[in-house]
């Protein structure tokens, strides 16, 4: 009987890949809501971005984008997730647009390559690199 209870408890949690997908969706939503603090909370303490960008650097970059654009939209392509224990690599495309009126006045499609780590039950972004496609 105890083994059934333990198995049921183990199955009740969110699978790691599903939790990671939700974390990525939440980060996209935070960007669209122009919420730099929530975006920063997704980053690991040792986050590294393009050209050595650190956690503070990414937060500052996000704030600058938010100041420039009243509206931001991010559409992610299919997530290619490679799980390896408490870590994962996720690759996808992201179409990002921004503007100050009804229609966006800037936009770009990026190839995005990221590494994630599970820390205290939460997925944190450890490394990100993005390259414009156009």
- 14-25 pLDDT, tens digit each: 899 999 999 999
What pLDDT, on the 0 to 100 scale, is given for residue 89?
Answer: 98
This prediction has a pTM of: 0.84
pLDDT band at residue 104 under the 50/70/90 scheme: confident
pLDDT higher than threshold 90 for residue 41? yes
pLDDT higher than threshold 70 for residue 61? yes
- 24-34 pLDDT, tens digit each: 999 999 999 98
What pLDDT, on the 0 to 100 scale, is given for residue 130?
Answer: 96
Where do the structural domains in the chain lie, given as residue ranges? 15-132
CATH number at 15-132 = 3.10.450.50
Match 């299919």 to its residue by tokens. Answer: 78
Q: Concatenate the DSSP letters of all residues of the chain into one string.
A: -HHHHHHHHHHHSPPHHHHHHHHHHHHHHHHHTT-HHHHHHHEEEEEE-GGG--HHHHHHHHHHHHHH-SEEEEEE---EEEEETTEEEEEEEEEEEEESSSS-SEEEEEEEEEEEEEETTEEEEEEEEEEE--
What three-state secondary structure class fits 121? coil
What pLDDT, on the 0 to 100 scale, is given for residue 21?
Answer: 98
Mean model confidence pLDDT for the chain: 88
9-18, 60-69, 103-112, 119-128: which has the minimum mean pLDDT? 9-18
């Amino acid at each position: 009987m105890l083994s059934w209870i333990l198995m049921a408890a183990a199955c009740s949690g969110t699978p790691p890949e599903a939790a990671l997908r939700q974390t990525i969706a939440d980060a996209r939503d935070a960007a669209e809501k122009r919420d730099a603090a929530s975006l920063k909370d997704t980053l690991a303490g040792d986050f590294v971005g393009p050209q050595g960008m650190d956690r503070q650097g990414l937060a500052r970059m996000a704030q600058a984008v938010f100041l420039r654009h009243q509206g931001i939209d991010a559409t992610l392509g299919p997530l290619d997730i490679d799980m390896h224990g408490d870590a994962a690599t996720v690759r996808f495309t992201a179409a990002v647009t921004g503007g100050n009126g009804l229609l966006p006045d800037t936009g770009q499609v990026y190839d995005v390559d990221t590494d994630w780590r599970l820390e205290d039950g939460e997925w944190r972004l450890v490394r990100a690199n993005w390259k414009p496609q156009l």
